[in-house]
Amino acid sequence: MENKEHILWVDDEIDLLKSNIMFLKQKGYVVFEATNGDDAIQFIKENDIDLVFMDEMMPGKGGLETLSEIKDIKPSLPVVMVTKNETESLMEDAIGKKINDYLLKPVNPKQVLLVCKKFLEGKKLKSNQVSRDYIQEFNKISVSLMNDPAWTDWINIHSSMTNWEIELDEHPELGLKQTAIDQRRECNVEFSKFVERNYKNWVNEESNGPVLSKDIVDKYVIPELDNNKSVFFFVVDCMRLDQWMMMEKYLENYFRISKDYYYSLLPTATPYCRNAIFAGLYPSEIEKHYPSLWKTSDDDENSKNNFEKEFLQKLLDRRKVKLRNDLKYTKIMDSDFSRGVESKILSYCNNHLNAIVINFVDMIAHSRSDNAILKEIAPDESAYRSLTESWFEHSSFFGMLRQLSTKSGVKIVITTDHGSIRCLHGVKVMGDKESATNLRYKYGRNVKAEARNAIFVKNPTEYRLPLRNGIVNYIIAKEDFYFVYPTDYHKYLNYYNDTFQHGGISMEEMILPVAVLESKA
């Protein structure tokens, strides 16, 4: 009997419910009885109970008062109110005191059984269904990998896997987490081969490829400017698809959301991808046409993105887009400034176009790499998603969006410049002192790595990459590899292992969401 679910039924006329109680016992439940609120509360303090059925009208301590005390003792214990009263005010009071469900008298055994299954067996039933559905999707993806997926298929694969990873977060008891991890790694192996075969054709427009970083403003932002309404263009640095999904569920009550996908350029790093978004050009074109705005002295990501406003304005000028007032550009790098922007975001609605860069997700990734406590809090992708969700729920970014949802006619476009991947396999890389320091890509005169671990770019122009005032090569990491120099190899191998990085080729870094939000107001 210890393994059976325990039910407490509280009713001052408990004898009238014997048929229901006997029915539940026949179904294998252990049912205890109480005839008043005080006895029920004392019983719950002294025993493990899984579900409570409780009469709303009882002498002495009534159902609502008893409910409130039960929730103080055991907040997660489900309580089902049984009542003759259908008044709206009663239901509001009951819901306010955290009732889990209610039944109207007279109750019949089938109603009671359904409620029991909902609260006592629901998770098990759902887990069984989730397990069956996941195995079916797992097999479907495995078959897709054998059929040479196109770029559209890879979007579907990545989206489906991400949805399932989030679903499996809720069901650790199934033991399918490692299966999902192994399949994603297998998919990234094939995805890297796919990108290596096709990327040059995409950027040289020799095939019908996906929307790329340079196409974002043309495809999603400029069309929204035609109606002369206020447009907000948010670029969240280093946001993966799973992180967006954690944010999206908070926004569904406020906005109608239309979601699409695009592929980032290579390397999947801010100087290349975000500049390409705002300029509407490939990095090699930026270097050629705007050499004064493309700095090649170092590889610091922040210094290389100091001219995003200028790039965007030049793109609008080339497209002959006339704004009704000056372009508003804002880059948010810290929480104090972010709260300041939140406090005055509605005044931004006077602008025709607002471009806002949000850096906090990227900061989470970098901070996790350097902070042992944060790494302990977010040891894997599941916890990393949870950390992102916690940040967003309490963030100024969410506050801005909530405020903007109150303004009809405002259009919001949200995207990212690249994602990130959890790097678990270090590989040796050779290069001279001038080689770039990034872990997922490097450039220089003599950079080399094993072909199975990286794409070697001998001619940067084929990949629309900058020449950097000289003859340089690029190497771009595949899958979840990261580059480590031979000097102090083991020290840095261990230091950077299990960190979230970007710059390479993986679904998480390259296949990215673009969402268009319109207020429901």
End-to-end CA distance of the chain: 54
State how far the Cα of 320 lies from the Cα of 9, in Å rounded to an integer. Answer: 72
Residues 475 and 399 in one domain: no
Looking at the fold, whether 158 and 265 belong to one and the same domain comes out as no
Tell whether 411 and 429 lie within a shared domain: no
Q: Which helix (H) or strand (E) holds 278?
A: helix 270-279
Q: Are residues 308 and 403 in the same domain?
A: yes
HSE-CB of 305 using CA atoms within 13 angstroms: 23
Q: Quick one: 23 and 164 in the same domain?
A: no
Residues 427 and 380 in one domain: no
Regarding whether 260 and 392 lie in a shared domain, the answer is yes
What pLDDT sits at residue 2? 46
Instruction: Give yes or no: residues 189 and 290 share one domain.
Output: no
Contact 344, 354 (CB under 8 A): no
Residue 112 lies in a domain: no
pLDDT for the residue numbered 107: 87
Q: Tokens 């509360």 appear where?
A: 41
Kindly write down the DSSP assignment for every residue of 319-385, as one continuous string.
Answer: TT---SSPPEEEEE-SHHHHHHHHHTGGGGGGSSEEEEEE-HHHHHHHHHHH-HHHHHH--SHHHHH
Question: Contact at 8 Å (CB) between 352 and 225?
Answer: yes
Tell me whether residue 181 is in a domain: yes
pLDDT at residue 297, rounded to an integer? 40
> 511-519 and 411-415 as β-strands: parallel, antiparallel, unpaired?
antiparallel
What was the pLDDT predicted at 279?
Answer: 96
List the pLDDT tens digit at each of the 521 positions of the chain.
345 789 999 998 898 889 899 999 998 899 999 999 999 999 999 998 999 998 888 888 888 888 888 988 888 899 998 887 666 555 565 566 678 888 888 888 888 998 888 888 877 777 888 888 889 999 999 999 999 999 999 999 999 999 999 999 888 888 888 999 999 999 999 999 999 999 999 999 877 899 999 999 999 999 999 877 899 999 999 999 999 999 999 999 999 999 999 999 999 999 999 999 999 999 999 999 988 777 654 455 555 678 999 999 999 999 999 999 999 999 998 889 999 999 999 999 999 999 999 988 887 877 777 777 777 888 888 888 999 999 999 999 999 999 999 998 899 999 999 999 999 999 998 877 666 678 999 988 888 888 899 999 999 999 999 887 777 889 999 999 999 888 888 888 888 888 899 999 999 999 999 999 999 87
Contact 107, 114 (CB under 8 A): no
Residues 208, 194: Cα–Cα separation, whole Å? 15
- How far is Cα 483 from Cα 435, in angstroms, rounded to an integer? 12
Strand 353-358 with 328-332, pairing: parallel
CA–CA gap between residue 119 and residue 79 (Å, rounded): 10
Residues 378 and 436 in one domain: no
368 is a domain residue: yes
Cβ neighbours of residue 35 closer than 8 Å, sequence gap 6 or more: 10, 11, 12, 14, 58
Question: What contacts 248, CB < 8 A, 6 or more positions away?
Answer: 257, 259, 515
Separation between Cα atoms, residue 417 and residue 438, nearest integer Å: 17
Instruction: Determine, yes or no, domain membership for 118.
Output: no
In a domain, 1, yes or no: no
Q: What is the pLDDT of residue 406?
A: 94
Domain that holds residue 467: 422-502
Residue 396's pLDDT is what? 95
Examine the domain organization and report whether 225 and 325 are in the same domain. yes
Q: Which of 203, 235, 257 is the last residue of a domain?
A: 203
Last residue within a domain, chosen from 80, 107, 134? 107
Close Cβ partners of 500 (under 8 Å, ≥ 6 residues apart) = 365, 368, 369, 384, 420, 421, 422, 423
What CATH number corresponds to the domain at position 100? Answer: 3.40.50.2300
Distance CA 473, CA 460 (A): 7
Question: Same structural domain for residues 414 and 450?
Answer: no
Specify if 114 maps to a domain: no
Domain count, the chain: 4
> Does 232 map to a domain?
yes
Residue 49 sits in the same domain as residue 99: yes
116 is a domain residue: no
Residues 213 and 264: beta-carbon distance below 8 Å:
yes
Domain with 304 in it: what CATH number? 3.40.720
